[in-house]
A and B are shown apart, each in its own frame.
Chain A
Amino acid sequence: SQQGEEDPQALSIQEGENATMNCSYKTSINNLQWYRQNSGRGLVHLILIRSNEREKHSGRLRVTLDTSKKSSSLLITASRAADTASYFCATDAIKAAGNKLTFGGGTRVLVKP
């Protein structure tokens, strides 16, 4: 199974509400990253959180990391229709072969106007 797995797989909310999605992983990591993908496009990097950090903010985004539970969450506050996208977590696992990122299956977020 994948190193990073997102939950839920899909999320539908009204504009202005908050959206929360979670990522679980299996092995120790150097960092965890979140990406956004608009329909049919490439991924765009949102935020990186290092293994020694517990929380990070970027605009309306808040990411937490709990290395004891091997999990992370991404919170989007005051969502907008433009936040409709798929969101992926990616882990940089310690001692991963080739030191590559491993991506999860993604959470599809629909923000209804």
Chain B
Amino acid sequence: DVKVTQSSRYLVKRTGEKVFLECVQDMDHENMFWYRQDPGLGLRLIYFSYDVKMKEKGDIPEGYSVSREKKERFSLILESASTNQTSMYLCASDKGRTPRGEQFFGPGTRLTVL
């Protein structure tokens, strides 16, 4: 059974803390994505990666960075968390092909920044 896992379901952090969100996929997918989801705004792409050590900015990269040292793992980093980064964070992966096919999502991490 294919799977995308995220390190935490719920996370509470304080303003200014450095936050790491981890995502692991076991499908040998080339592409991995980080989205944030806010009510009424749908999913917005933060960063994505097409290969190990490669990253591309999405629509809202400000305040975030990413790391992909291994094919199966894609980390989202909040260098200095702020209250406006309180959100649901979703990781996804898909096969490396064009056009885009089905994306597989993790269960999400609900982050609260106090």
A residues with a Cβ closer than 8 A to B are 2, 4, 9, 30-31, 33, 35, 40-45, 48, 88, 90, 92, 98-106
Contacts and interface: CB of A to CB of B under 8 A. Distances in A.
B43 A42 contact: no
Interface residues of B, number: 27
Contacts of A102: 45
B90 A33 contact: no
Given A41-B108, A100-B48, A88 B102 contact: no
B11 to A, nearest CB: 14
B41 A105 contact: yes
Interface stretch (B13-21, B70-78, B79-87, B93-101): B93-101
Contact of A92 (B42, B44, B99): B99
11 contacts: A35-B105, A40-B88, A42-B4, A42-B105, A45-B102, A92-B100, A99-B100, A100-B58, A105-B41, A105-B42, A106-B42
B82 to A, nearest CB: 23
Contacts of A9: 40
Scoring A2, A33, A43, A106 by chain B CB atoms within 10 A of each residue's CB, the highest score goes to A43
A4 B42 CA distance: 10
A60 B44 CA distance: 29
B37 to A, nearest CB: 9
